[in-house]
Amino acid sequence: MDIVIAGAGIGGLTAALSLHTAGLRNVRVLEAVPRIRPLGAGVNLQPNAVRELAALGLAEDLADLGADLTELGYYNHLGQEIWREPRGRANGARWPQLALHRGALQTTLADSVRARLGDDAITTGTRVTGFAQLPHAGVEVGVGHRDDNRPAARIRADVLIGADGLRSAVRRVLYPQEGEPRSNGTTVWRGITRAEPFHGGRSMVVMGDGRWKAVVYPLAVRPDGDGLVPVNWAVSRAGREDPAPPDAGPGDGFPTAVAHWRCEDLRMDALVAGTDATASFPMLDRDPVPRWSFGAVTLLGDAAHAMAPMGSNATTQAVLDARSLAHALATHDDPTAALTAYDRDRRPRMNRLQLLNRAKGPEVVIDLAHQRAPHGFARGVHSVLPAERLAHIAHAYARAAGFDTASVNAPSPYRPPAPDPHTL
Ligand SMILES: Cc1cc2nc3c(=O)[nH]c(=O)nc-3n(C[C@H](O)[C@H](O)[C@H](O)COP(=O)(O)OP(=O)(O)OC[C@H]3O[C@@H](n4cnc5c(N)ncnc54)[C@H](O)[C@@H]3O)c2cc1C
């Protein structure tokens, strides 16, 4: 079966590795950028994604790449605790929650694809421009030069996987009326700063005042010779005003509003002032759609379900999609039936998660706390919300995203089928 994957992001590369591991060998990844470079900042792999990447033999490579997080805490802008929970192994999961640089993850996956599938498995500088389904089976994929949306050539494949991100060209053919991604007026600034470890060195801290929010976590556990670790931070400002332009620097509405925030030994001023490069983005997502799979074509990762960055999930879900899709293609003779099975497995959950994230996912507790106590809690008050309600919000989200401990510790649903004893 000839399979073309549009996009060598985390989802596309994991799909290539998963398909190869499942025994499907004719896989090509087409990537628009001329060279895969370590772009972006921090991402999280939740334990369900780490389990799936471990099944691809990548556990050791990944463990060296980032920080194994053991705690997540939500706080108000004064650093008062709203909710705190153990994460990953500290929460009884067999697999860790890993915080790592997106670029390091992408490079590791790309190296593995080239080592296993061959040097020519990834073609860079080649943009998928669109496709046409063939009358009986298969698809003709339009490909062009990296900056050109017009096809320069067409290639035939049995399956096309659109893993081409937020502005997917494959999705545009399937949903031509959709237009640009949706913005809710929130601007996000992010950067990575070398700073002293905080909260014991393995914690993610999310602080907010109902309008501004800061998400902070380390990307390494072991400090360097100066006692510092790379710390990833993202500061967002909710609002309906025009978002700051992309790559607005420190002078352009930069999050000075949070510079005085402190949370125990975490100081936001040290982070935002010490950053070498800061980028800003509008917060974007997409509406859920009623179908991802059409004949020989399907969508995966952000192309399928771009979601607001709440709950540290987007990368995790792209990995899960890739595993589900490879499993479906390996266990169905008919590619169309396989893509339908994948759609049925993943889309309903992702549709729900997109809407949950639009409603702020588990981070909604910060707004709820702010509504009750905009100036902070009185001394001696542990949190202004009942613990059962907070626990319910956290656990319901983890279940929806598939990283509650029971789901993580269950065997992967995407294990290869056991051989039929009658055919042995
Ligand atoms: C440059 C970049 C930086 C990012 N940084 C962060 C970050 O710091 N933190 C965070 O949480 N998330 C970040 N993300 C998003 C994050 O990677 C995704 O949400 C998540 O990993 C899901 O991955 P994906 O493979 O579905 O999409 P993506 O990671 O977006 O990958 C899509 C890939 O498709 C390629 N592509 C796009 N159009 C075409 C086309 N027509 N033909 C061929 N190739 C195409 C893109 O160049 C890209 O390599 C970033 C994405 C990108 C592209």
Break the chain into its structural domains and give their ranges. Answer: 2-48+58-66+102-181+287-360, 182-284
Ligand 1 atom, smallest distance to 7 CA: 34
Please compute the mean of the pLDDT values over residues 294-300 and round it to a whole number.
98
The answer to whether the CB of 162 is under 6 A from ligand 1 is no
Q: Which of 160, 302, 354 to mutate to test the pocket of ligand 1 (most atoms within 8 A of CB)?
A: 302
- CA 302 to ligand 1 centroid distance, Å: 7
Cβ atoms of residues 225 and 209 within 8 Å? no
The answer to whether the CB of 320 is under 6 A from ligand 1 is no
Token pair listed for 395: 């656990």
Q: What pLDDT was estimated at residue 151?
A: 79
The answer to whether the CB of 9 is under 6 A from ligand 1 is yes
Q: What is the CATH number of domain 182-284?
A: 3.30.9.30
- CA 9 to ligand 1 centroid distance, Å: 5
User: Residue 376 pLDDT > 60, yes or no?
Assistant: yes
The answer to whether the CB of 301 is under 6 A from ligand 1 is yes
Cβ atoms of residues 271 and 288 within 8 Å? no
Helix (H) or strand (E) holding 108: helix 102-117
The answer to whether the CB of 361 is under 6 A from ligand 1 is no
The answer to whether the CB of 72 is under 6 A from ligand 1 is no
The whole-angstrom separation of Cα 275 and Cα 233 is 10
Cβ atoms of residues 158 and 335 within 8 Å? yes
Token pair listed for 100: 């790592």
User: Residue 315 pLDDT > 90, yes or no?
Assistant: yes
* Residue whose C-alpha is closest to residue 82's, from 263, 224, 256: 263
Q: What pLDDT was estimated at residue 227?
A: 95
The answer to whether the CB of 104 is under 6 A from ligand 1 is no
Integer angstrom CA distances of residue 352 from 43, 205, 311? 21, 25, 13
Please compute the mean of the pLDDT values over residues 75-88 and round it to a whole number.
95
Cβ atoms of residues 326 and 18 within 8 Å? yes
User: Residue 245 pLDDT > 80, yes or no?
Assistant: no
* Residue whose C-alpha is closest to residue 171's, from 64, 50, 292, 82: 292
N- to C-terminal Cα separation, the chain: 24
Residue type, 411: P
Q: Indicate which residue's Cα is closest to atom 51 of ligand 1.
A: 40
Cβ atoms of residues 188 and 235 within 8 Å? yes
Say which residues have a Cβ less than 8 Å from residue 406's Cβ, sequence separation at least 6. none
| 314-342 residues labelled b (16+ CB within 10 A) or e (exposed) | bbbbbbbbbbbbbbbbbeeeebbebbbbb
The answer to whether the CB of 283 is under 6 A from ligand 1 is no
More confident residue, 152 or 159: 159
Question: Does the fold of domain 182-284 match that of domain 2-48+58-66+102-181+287-360?
Answer: no
Q: Which string of DSSP letters, residue by residue, matches 12-64?
A: HHHHHHHHHHTT--EEEEE-SSSS----S-EEEE-HHHHHHHHHTT-HHHHHT
For tokens 């080592």, the residue is 115
Token pair listed for 289: 């759609």
The answer to whether the CB of 165 is under 6 A from ligand 1 is yes
Q: Indicate which residue's Cα is closest to atom 52 of ligand 1.
A: 40
The whole-angstrom separation of Cα 239 and Cα 415 is 44
Q: Let me know if 378 is exposed, middle or buried by CB neighbors in 10 A (0-12, 13-18, 19+).
A: exposed
Q: What is the mean pLDDT of the chain?
A: 91
The answer to whether the CB of 29 is under 6 A from ligand 1 is no
The answer to whether the CB of 302 is under 6 A from ligand 1 is yes
Q: Which of 45, 126, 164, 292 to mutate to test the pocket of ligand 1 (most atoms within 8 A of CB)?
A: 164
User: Residue 50 pLDDT > 70, yes or no?
Assistant: yes
* Residue whose C-alpha is closest to residue 11's, from 102, 96, 85, 136: 102
Q: Give residue-wise pLDDT tens across range 18-31.
A: 999 999 999 999 99
| Chain length of the chain | 424
The DSSP symbol for 175 reads S
> Half-sphere exposure of 237 toward its Cβ, with a 13 Å CA cutoff?
17
Q: How confident is the model at residue 35 (pLDDT cuts 50, 70, 90)?
A: very high
Q: Does domain 2-48+58-66+102-181+287-360 sit in CATH 3.90.1150.10?
A: no
Q: What pLDDT was estimated at residue 250?
A: 47
